[in-house]
Structure 1
Amino acid sequence: MTIRQSVLRGTVPLGVAVLCGATLAGCSGAGGAGGGSQAHSINVLMVNNPQMEDLQKLTAANFTKTTGIKVNFTVLPEDDARDKFTQDFSSQSGQYDIATISNYEVPFYAKNGWLASLSGHATGDTGFQQSDILPTIQQALTYNGQIYAEPFYGESSFLMYRKDVFAAKGLTMPANPTWQQVADLAAQADGAQPGMKGICLRGQPGWGEVIAPLTTVVNTMGGTWFDQNWQAQLTSPAFTAATNFYVNLVRAHGEAGAPQSGFTECLNDMEQGKVAMWYDATSAAGSLEASDSPVAGKVGYVPAPVDQTKSSGWLYTWAWGVQKASTHQDDAWKFISWASGQGYENLVGQSLGWSRVPAGKRASTYRNPSYVAAASAFAQATETALTSVDPQNPGVQPRPAPGIQFVGIPEFTDLGTQVSQQISDAIAGQASVGQALKNSQALAAKVGAKYAGR
């Protein structure tokens, strides 16, 4: 919620400029041809993550050349894209046929009738091989038994650590570490090299920044944002204990500037040898193992640390959703089936390099010899992370809405962002965890009251 989010996250906005491939596929915006003015033209709104930029470069010479369907791309930073597709899909204006939406949006977009069901296309298109989509990803994009989006790439989370540093210090990373073991290792690895801290954990405000990893810790330590009756639980013993653990760990053994550190900052710290461990998105591994990375070949990957649950990784996917008001749904499916298909992954691998494949969505990706060879350090760990998560039951008690690192309701973007500022202040030492959670509880209670009794 690489969140580039690496992506990513999943969730980290990348840049502030609108990027348009005018020489490749044209560009449409507020004044563009709504829904596509040509018989075989579709409008696609997507976030400006690297994987989408690769797609934009490859579309005209491959998809359009083969199908005759022109694709008009509008490419925006994540926050701007989310605002725009929410406005367009909620009004059913039909300006965009397709948008990159995530598993966060799918359930309530589908419930509101904003998305066209893709089940008929998916099951009728034998070449697409819907059965190859990882079950956890497909489940996250399904509502009331209907598929409402197809994944472009997916990610979970895991723990990354410097194998060479651990070996030099005589430290052993468990195959399936607990959070307490990680905290102990962080203390021992702190100062292993000049200026090196034990671990990097996000502290930057944002519902897709500090809230993402923190919520997975809350889940595995027995907490939840809301109980099944929508009663806010942010001051519960479990939520408090998990938040104290997270804040204390990053304050004691975490990276410098933690309150301002998100995915990008932790990635840089890991690459530059400033931290010995990092818990974050699986999609980060591609950057760490890139040919120009200073730590390539030096990093080990193990599952997300746990406490009371068997697994605790998050789940996030950028996926293609078709607006229900679109009048070009057949052409939209042709584009989606190409962009999310095995053939496109092979195209990227062969033309741009296998490390740039939008992975994390198909089982076959992890059986592809070319991809596995290029991603040997992390492919198996990533697949394990993606297949072991449960978005419906990520903790130890029933929840009223799906989601692992978020709560699947529209209000969470605002709620999560407000709470994240409270947590970041606690990491900065500007407030106690108790006060931060007391303030957050009041915010969450207002949201829960809207849903209680429904």
Structure 2
Amino acid sequence: MKSLFNTVAAVAVATTGATAVSAQDLTIAIVNNGHMINMQKVAEAYTAETGVNLNWVALEEGVLREQVTSDTATGGGQYDIINIGMQEAPIWGAAGWIEPLKFSADYDVDDILPAMRAGLSHNGTLYAAPFYGESSMVMYRKDLADAAGVKIRDNDSWANVKGAAMAMHDPDNGVYGACLRGKPGWGDNGAFITTVANSFGARWFDENMKPQLDSAAWNEAVSFYVDLLANYGPPGSEGNSFNEILALYNQDKCGLWIDATIAASFLENPNVAYAQSPNAGNPVGANWLWAWAMAIPAGSPNAEAARDFIEWATSKDYVQAVGNHPDFGWGSVPTGQRASTYDIPEFKAVAGFAAAEMAAIDSAAPEATDLKPYVGVQFVAIPEFPEIGSAFGQEMAAALSGAKSVEDALAAAQAAAVAIMDEAGY
């Protein structure tokens, strides 16, 4: 792929509040999860080939969102490449905060899964390239389920999932029936709770974009979530997000985990089975749609070098580089972004989760419907949602910890959502 390794001439630049840097230096803000951390090592070959030095800033998910949003919105110029997702990319692209992405023909943009390409575009223009994509699914210890005499089926009822968690729950031996996100944040506990609420028939807004968090469906969904974790989850669940639960799961402390499909790449216990996310009667199950993607802040003086790197890091060549890397291998390649990955024989031989992952991605329904008159599954594609979702996440963590009742937490979240939407002019 010739265009991926263009040597970029060093050009000194200066940005407001920043020191001069070379066009051969790129500062990249990434979320601190496994695939992104792996990229730092894989990309050593890119630096060796091109001379482009890569300065990595790895941040916890909530901190990343806060810092990247602030810097990009104000034109701070701190980063040349940023990790963002489907909530931000179309909105920031429309606002002119990030650069449109145009790659060489060799990149094969049509190989990107349609759901990912659509979710990262605005009016047909791609504004962020997916490093990996995901839905959500049930990941459970089949050995524990079999020993307890329970089964978890595709699109199972929440009652059966709760029963399975109860049967596998053995805290005296360090096993908790269900490990689920509880850490506050619209992309943390808010993401998972929203999918539960979707499956119970709840929605964030009505047809007039009036918040609906005080509905009976929301109360039922959140009450179920709090009860499940309070009785069958690990202590301190209000502090757990993806990385914390992944660690618990790999310490054999979780019976089941419902979370991002990408987690399957990092599960170490061989007795893991997969099922499509549960529901409570709503035809759309509790599965989300997301991509961690790479974008270029508008006006970056290093936009050309940044675009070259993004083209490489989200390409078929990068998948091959990870698969053939001595420290990683085919079980560690980023998934959910390119159709061609699922046809690679070496990947198919080790990725027992691949079929379940693709089924989850294919069944996610971000489009507006009669039930939810807005785009998004675990988020709402409006600029105000991160603020609303963050307030909601704090209230849900309070309910989970026992600091507030579910009713009081939802009432506070509803009041915050109404105030934010009113101020925005809805």
In the superposition, the TM-score normalised over structure 2's length comes to 0.87
Residue of structure 1 in register with 2:205 after alignment: 226
Residue of structure 2 in register with 1:77 after alignment: 59
- Residue 259, structure 1, aligned to residue 227, structure 2: no
Report the secondary structure of 1:75's partner residue: strand
Residue of structure 2 in register with 1:106 after alignment: 89
The separation in 2 between residues aligned to 1:317 and 1:193, in whole angstroms, is 38
1:405 to 339, 361, 378: 378
**Cα offsets for 1:357-414 (capped at 9, x unmatched):** 22221111111111122222x1211122122212224x761334x3222223344333
1:353 to 326, 329, 336: 329
Give 1:216 deviation, angstroms.
Answer: 0.3
Residue of structure 2 in register with 1:16 after alignment: none
Report the secondary structure of 2:179's partner residue: coil
Contact 1:204 1:260 in 2 (8 A): yes
The one-letter code of the counterpart of 2:366 is: P
Residue of structure 2 in register with 1:130 after alignment: 109
Q: Runs of 4 or more off by more than 4 Å in structure 1? A: 28-34, 40-43
Residue of structure 2 in register with 1:391 after alignment: 366
Contact 1:158 1:313 in 2 (8 A): yes
Q: 1:131 to 1:225 in 2, by over 3 A?
A: same
The separation in 2 between residues aligned to 1:29 and 1:282, in whole angstroms, is 39
Report the secondary structure of 1:198's partner residue: strand
- Structure 1 segment 202-213 matched on structure 2, within 5 A: 202-213=181-192
- Structure 1 segment 47-446 matched on structure 2, within 5 A: 47-61=31-45, 63-66=46-49, 68=50, 70-78=52-60, 79-92=62-75, 94=77, 96-118=79-101, 121-122=102-103, 125-191=104-170, 194-288=173-267, 293=268, 296-307=269-280, 308-351=282-325, 352-376=328-352, 378-393=353-368, 397-400=371-374, 402-446=375-419
Contact 2:342 2:354 in 1 (8 A): yes
Contact 2:205 2:212 in 1 (8 A): yes
The separation in 2 between residues aligned to 1:96 and 1:193, in whole angstroms, is 47
**Cα offsets for 1:417-451 (capped at 9, x unmatched):** 32222222222223221111111110111122134
Give 1:41 deviation, angstroms.
Answer: 5.2
**Cα offsets for 1:234-272 (capped at 9, x unmatched):** 011111111111112222333333333333333333333
The separation in 2 between residues aligned to 1:433 and 1:406, in whole angstroms, is 20
Q: 1:80 to 1:312 in 2, by over 3 A?
A: closer
Report the secondary structure of 1:202's partner residue: coil
Contact 1:204 1:262 in 2 (8 A): yes
Report the secondary structure of 1:230's partner residue: coil
Give 1:191 deviation, angstroms.
Answer: 3.7
Q: 1:313 to 1:84 in 2, by over 3 A?
A: same
Contact 1:56 1:73 in 2 (8 A): no
Report the secondary structure of 1:116's partner residue: coil
**Cα offsets for 1:106-135 (capped at 9, x unmatched):** 1221121112222xx24xx22111111111
Q: 1:333 to 1:203 in 2, by over 3 A?
A: closer
The one-letter code of the counterpart of 2:40 is: Q
Residue of structure 1 in register with 2:22 after alignment: 37
Deviates more, 1:402-411 or 1:380-389: 402-411
The one-letter code of the counterpart of 2:305 is: D
Contact 2:131 2:334 in 1 (8 A): yes
Q: 1:249 to 1:80 in 2, by over 3 A?
A: closer
The separation in 2 between residues aligned to 1:265 and 1:440, in whole angstroms, is 25
- Identity %, equivalent residues: 37
Report the secondary structure of 1:153's partner residue: strand
Report the secondary structure of 1:167's partner residue: helix
The separation in 2 between residues aligned to 1:360 and 1:350, in whole angstroms, is 19
The separation in 2 between residues aligned to 1:201 and 1:93, in whole angstroms, is 36
Give 1:32 deviation, angstroms.
Answer: 5.8
Report the secondary structure of 2:206's partner residue: coil
The one-letter code of the counterpart of 2:393 is: S
Q: 1:423 to 1:372 in 2, by over 3 A?
A: same
The one-letter code of the counterpart of 1:358 is: P
In the superposition, the TM-score normalised over structure 1's length comes to 0.82
The separation in 1 between residues aligned to 2:202 and 2:63, in whole angstroms, is 32
Q: 1:311 to 1:135 in 2, by over 3 A?
A: farther
Q: 1:44 to 1:248 in 2, by over 3 A?
A: closer
Give 1:171 deviation, angstroms.
Answer: 1.7
Q: 1:422 to 1:324 in 2, by over 3 A?
A: closer
The separation in 1 between residues aligned to 2:247 and 2:47, in whole angstroms, is 37
Contact 1:42 1:69 in 2 (8 A): no
The separation in 2 between residues aligned to 1:271 and 1:246, in whole angstroms, is 23
Report the secondary structure of 1:398's partner residue: coil
Contact 1:220 1:396 in 2 (8 A): no
Give 1:81 deviation, angstroms.
Answer: 3.8
**Cα offsets for 1:13-52 (capped at 9, x unmatched):** xxxxxxxxxxxxxxx9997666x534x5544333343323
The one-letter code of the counterpart of 1:407 is: V
**Unpaired runs of at least 5, structure 1:** 1-27
